[in-house]
Structures are given as C-alpha cells and as structure tokens.
C-alpha cells in the first residue's frame, strides 16, 4: 500500500478503539520470527536426552556458545543476561537476513530499530539502578563535577539513538543498493541486450547478495549485541554497589587473583588500581 523507503502497510484497522492503526510488513515479520523462535525453543527442549541429537544438539551448541560469549564479555556474575542476549542476537539475525528470501528486513524500518534500542536503554537503566542503588545511580550524573549533569544525561540518551540509527542505516543501505542493482541489471538485460528475460539478474547480483544479505546482517546483529553487553556491563560496574564491598582479595602467598580477574568480576578502575598498588608493595 505504502510506497517509498518506508515499510509497506499490509492492512489498516477500521473501527473500534484502534481505528486507523496501520500494520506494516515489519510488524508481521517480527511476530513471525518471534513465534518461530518460540516454537524452535519448545521443540528443542521438549524431549531432552542425555546424549543430544538433532535439534537438541544444535540448540545446546547455540546455548553453550551464548553463555560462554556472555561470560567472557560481561563476567561470570552477569550470566543472568545470557538468555536475553541470545534471543536478541537471533531475533536481529533472522530479521536482518529476510533479504535472502526477497523480503524487506525488519531492521530496515526505523520503528523497529528504535523499539529495540529503547528496550536496551530500559534494561541498562534498570540494571544500573539495581546494581548501584538509586542514590549511587543519581550521584554518578554529577561526577566528577556537578556541571557535568546535562552532559551525562545527554550521553545516556544518545547511546540508544546512535544504536538504532547504526543498524537501521547499514541495513537500509543494503536494501537500496540491492534494489538499484537489480533494476539496473533488468534494464540492461531487456532494453540494452534485448534478451527475452532479465538474465543478468540471475548471476551478477550474487556477490552483492552474499555481502548485503549474509555478511552484513550477521555483522550488524553482532555489533548491536556487543554494544548492548558493553553498556550493560558499564552501567553495572560504574560504581560498586553495597554488596561489592570487601570483594577485593588482599595480596598474600595464597592469593590467586589478577587484575584481569577483578575486571571480569566487576571491579571498577579505582579498585583495580588500589589492588595493584598493594600487590606491588
């Protein structure tokens, strides 16, 4: 129904409290992908066997990789975020790769990318408050000087905006380039070479398909997920919470901690530096 760069409107709600509500192809594909992931999860975990085979083996491999990835990136004590991170990556990956099937990727719609970035923003703020407490959370906006408050607030809101525009711009650029390439090859085949069918469309776009429909979707899903984990980790370790006091081991003959262990465990820079000075002394 709707032409141009925006997602096509599949149907509009007429009458009732949602009169005029437009349902686009982005919404429909997002629902299909979500339902598909749920069905795959249920099927993979329905009949668990001691020695996994088939779908269970694939699912366990994915879960194992996701948990290892989150552990290496966010630390062992943040493993509770692994289910969300894994779901986020798979949802973005399948949404990005719809171009392989000839459909518009869900992330080529700014509404989708801003919704995903908004959810990440909420998770970051909630995680920061839970980790630091309300007082520490509000206090960090005034560090190191109170006049930094407007800048710190602006910084919090610029991240989800840049996150949304980054994946939207890259995926939409791929859609536009593929459309231009296909139309150009069609015109050359039919009007310049006078072929009975657009033969050039069948072979020449393959390198572009590999890049824009496979490599770029994987890369953008990975970047979005990595930035999400990085900023969640940053929000959690920005200030030690009340439960973090006394977590730093004193150096001694039995000490088996390194500065890297402290960072992975969630210590901030001042704690790592203090431990390093004591250990060196």
Note the pLDDT tens digit of each residue in 72-116.
988 888 899 999 999 999 999 999 999 888 899 999 999 999 999
pTM metric for this prediction: 0.77
| 255 occurs within a structural domain | no
Residue 32: pLDDT over 70: yes
Range of the domain at 136: 77-240
| 178 occurs within a structural domain | yes
Radius of gyration of the chain measured on its C-alpha atoms: 24
| 179 occurs within a structural domain | yes
Residue 278: pLDDT over 70: no
| 193 occurs within a structural domain | yes
**Residue 49 binned pLDDT confidence (cut-offs 50, 70, 90):** confident
C-alpha closest to that of 96 among 8, 212, 227, 229 = 212
| 271 occurs within a structural domain | no
Percent of the chain that is helix, strand, coil (3-state, to 5): 75, 0, 25
Gap between the Cα atoms of 59 and 67, Å rounded: 12
Decide: residue 64, CB within 10 A, 0-12 exposed, 13-18 middle, 19+ buried: exposed
With beta carbons less than 8 A apart as the criterion, state whether 231 and 117 touch: no
With beta carbons less than 8 A apart as the criterion, state whether 78 and 263 touch: no
C-alpha count within 13 angstroms, C-beta hemisphere, residue 44: 15
| 59 occurs within a structural domain | no
| 99 occurs within a structural domain | yes
Mean pLDDT of 148-153: 89
Exposure b/e, 2-14, CB count within 10 A at least 16 = b: eeeeebeeeeeee
Q: How many folded domains does the chain comprise?
A: 1
| 31 occurs within a structural domain | no
Note the pLDDT tens digit of each residue in 171-220.
999 999 988 888 888 888 777 777 776 777 777 778 888 898 899 999 99
Mean pLDDT of 141-168: 90
C-alpha closest to that of 26 among 105, 97, 100, 120 = 105
Residue 270: pLDDT over 60: no
The first and second tokens of residue 145, run together, are 């000087």
Gap between the Cα atoms of 179 and 157, Å rounded: 33
SS3 state at 11: strand
Which phi-psi region, left, alpha or beta, contains residue 158 (left: φ > 0; alpha: ψ -120 to 50)?
alpha
C-alpha closest to that of 266 among 225, 227, 222, 235 = 235
């Amino acid at each position: 129904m709707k032409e141009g760069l925006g997602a096509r409107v599949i149907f509009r709600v007429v009458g009732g409290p949602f009169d005029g509500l437009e349902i686009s192809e982005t919404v429909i594909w997002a629902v299909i992908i979500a339902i598909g992931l749920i069905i795959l999860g249920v099927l993979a975990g329905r009949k668990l066997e001691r020695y996994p085979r088939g779908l269970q083996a694939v699912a366990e491999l994915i879960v194992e990789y996701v948990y290892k990835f989150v552990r290496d990136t966010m630390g062992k004590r943040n493993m509770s975020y692994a289910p969300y991170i894994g779901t986020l990556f798979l949802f973005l990956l399948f949404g990005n790769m719809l171009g392989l099937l000839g459909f518009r990727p869900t992330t080529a719609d700014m509404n989708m990318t801003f919704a995903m970035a908004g959810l990440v923003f909420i998770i970051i703020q909630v995680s920061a408050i839970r980790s630091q407490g309300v007082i520490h959370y509000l206090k960090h906006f005034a560090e190191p000087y109170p006049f930094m408050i407007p800048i710190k607030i602006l910084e919090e809101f610029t991240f989800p905006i840049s996150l949304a525009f980054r994946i939207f711009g890259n995926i939409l650029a791929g859609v536009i380039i593929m459309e231009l390439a296909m139309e150009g090859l069609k015109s050359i085949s039919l009007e310049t070479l006078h072929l009975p069918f657009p033969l050039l469309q069948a072979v020449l776009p393959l390198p572009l398909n590999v890049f824009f429909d496979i490599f770029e979707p994987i890369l953008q899903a990975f970047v979005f997920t990595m930035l999400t984990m990085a900023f969640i980790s940053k929000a959690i370790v920005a200030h030690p919470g009340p439960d973090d006091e006394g977590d730093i081991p004193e150096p001694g003959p039995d000490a088996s901690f390194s500065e890297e262990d402290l960072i992975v465990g969630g210590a901030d820079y001042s704690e790592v530096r203090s431990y390093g000075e004591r250990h060196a002394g």
